DNA sequence: CCCACATGAGACATATTTGTCTCACACTGG
DNA sequence: CCAGTGTGAGACAAATATGTCTCATGTGGG
């Protein structure tokens, strides 16, 4: 029964296509379906067999981005140890997905509609919780809301991803730049 | 000679159209020329008489954004007093233009090409200088480069502008949220 | 009053992208 | 060898946005 082999190959291809598309759209967010297909090394017809249309492709990339973030959040074990260290781990774990995140962050199509993926809400909750925890333990200042700190984290990740693509920031400095700037603002300053 | 009155009215209208377009495109970056025209209360034909095409409109918005930023930078007197206070003044002065900046920041069309407006380079230099000054005086930490701090400032402004549009951050808190987070990372912590 | 001119409305061609379809080709397993 | 299947190439229509044009209208100045 070749159907098994079929779906198996399709699944592998699908992931490859998705990652190629992410890499391309990170650099050129207005790339056409044809360019996406060429970047993945397949034809436009096959691309359409994987994703019904451009919208479906973007949605799939959104789902991938959410999944990558959730993986990073889990691996970072945000509930363990000092909140500051947890945030540092999170930034380090999320770096490989930073380009994809930057693309999604700028894809206003995903945010304008009233129906947006619940995954972001779940992520916001998990990430916001670590800031809240840091505030409760007195490690973080309380005059910046967890919601804003979460938003700022996304913003800094996207900014640094773009700066990295332009060569204004070295890729190896990404975790330091993002985490140190964010935490410098979030960590309560030591009393002098 | 009606040509005087003509150009005068055109100039006034042009500015009004530009600001309407900025307000609309901040909320819906994919708005069509027709929607932009309607938002400005004029017809598409008249809009085309002001701006040769969509590209010209975006370029004009870019020029407006640069001008607003340069005005804010000048009013903030970045060379006066402590660098931290200078940055706070800058953020306060730049808030009215934050929405426009957020739109421009997400308009990848402006950054992908090899020919980008020199205005941004001039602005980067002026803003980067205040971070550099803060580092020289020992007020700012030196492990975050002025280039990154400048980039992060733009990113946080855009993030906070979007969060404000969504109601996740109150508009009156904008200066505090952006400046406190950025400076908390930039200002060297007091020795404990 | 009259004329010049800016405007609005709309028609029209054009360009671009998208979505769908067909068909020939290559590969793979039986 | 051959049937099944995924793929690439390309044709095609449809949708959308854009740019250009014409013409009627209204208004303000001379």
Name every residue whose Cβ is closer than 8 Å to that of residue A109 and which is 6 or more positions away in sequence.
Answer: A55, A58, B30
Closest residue, chain B, to A103 (C-alpha): B106
The mean pLDDT of A140-144, rounded to a whole number, is 91
| Cα distance between residue B155 and residue B173, in whole Å | 17
Instruction: Tell whether A114 lies on the interface with B, counting CB pairs under 8 A.
Output: no
Which nucleotide, over all strands, has the C1' atom closest to the CA of B1? D29
Kind and range of the H or E run holding A46:
helix A44-50
Q: Is the pLDDT of residue B98 over 50?
A: yes
Looking at the structure of chain A, the number of domains it has is: 2
Tell me if A185 sits within 8 A of B183, measured CB to CB. yes
| Cα distance between residue B153 and residue A75, in whole Å | 29
| Cα distance between residue A30 and residue A47, in whole Å | 17
Helices B118-136, B146-165: axis angle to 10 degrees equals 110
pLDDT, residue B192, reads 46
Range of the domain at A83: 61-186
Residues A7 and A70 reside in one and the same domain: no
Which nucleotide, over all strands, has the C1' atom closest to the CA of B32? D17
Residues B64 and B152 reside in one and the same domain: yes
Residues B74 and B41 reside in one and the same domain: no
Residues B39 and B95 reside in one and the same domain: no
Residues A144 and A164 reside in one and the same domain: yes
Tell me if A30 sits within 8 A of B108, measured CB to CB. yes
Question: Within 37-56 of chain A, which residues have Cβ less than 7 Å from strand D?
Answer: 41-46, 49
Tell me if B109 sits within 8 A of B132, measured CB to CB. no
Digit-coded pLDDT (tens) for B17-43: 999 999 999 999 999 999 999 999 999
> Which residue, chain included where needed, has tokens 């400048």?
B150
Length of chain A: 192
Digit-coded pLDDT (tens) for A48-86: 999 999 999 999 999 999 999 999 999 999 999 999 999
In angstroms, the first-to-last Cα distance of chain B is: 73
Question: Closest residue by Cα to the C1' atom of nucleotide D17?
Answer: B32
């Amino acid at each position: 029964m070749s159907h098994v082999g079929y779906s198996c190959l399709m699944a592998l291809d699908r992931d490859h296509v998705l990652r190629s598309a992410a890499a391309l759209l990170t650099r050129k967010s207005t790339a056409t379906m044809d360019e996406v297909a060429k970047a993945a090394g397949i034809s436009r017809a096959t691309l359409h067999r994987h994703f019904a249309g451009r919208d479906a492709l973007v949605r799939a990339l959104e789902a991938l981005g959410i999944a990558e973030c959730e993986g990073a959040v889990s691996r970072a074990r945000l509930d363990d140890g000092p909140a500051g260290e947890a945030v540092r781990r999170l930034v380090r774990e999320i770096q490989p997905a930073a380009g994809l995140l930057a693309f999604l962050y700028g894809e206003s199509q995903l945010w304008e509609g009233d129906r947006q993926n619940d995954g972001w809400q779940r992520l916001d909750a998990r990430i916001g919780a670590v800031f809240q925890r840091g505030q409760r333990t007195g490690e973080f200042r309380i005059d910046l809301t967890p919601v804003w700190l979460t938003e700022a984290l996304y913003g800094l990740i996207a900014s640094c991803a773009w700066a990295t693509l332009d060569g204004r920031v070295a890729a190896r400095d990404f975790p330091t730049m993002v985490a140190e700037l964010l935490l410098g603002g979030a960590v309560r300053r030591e009393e002098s």
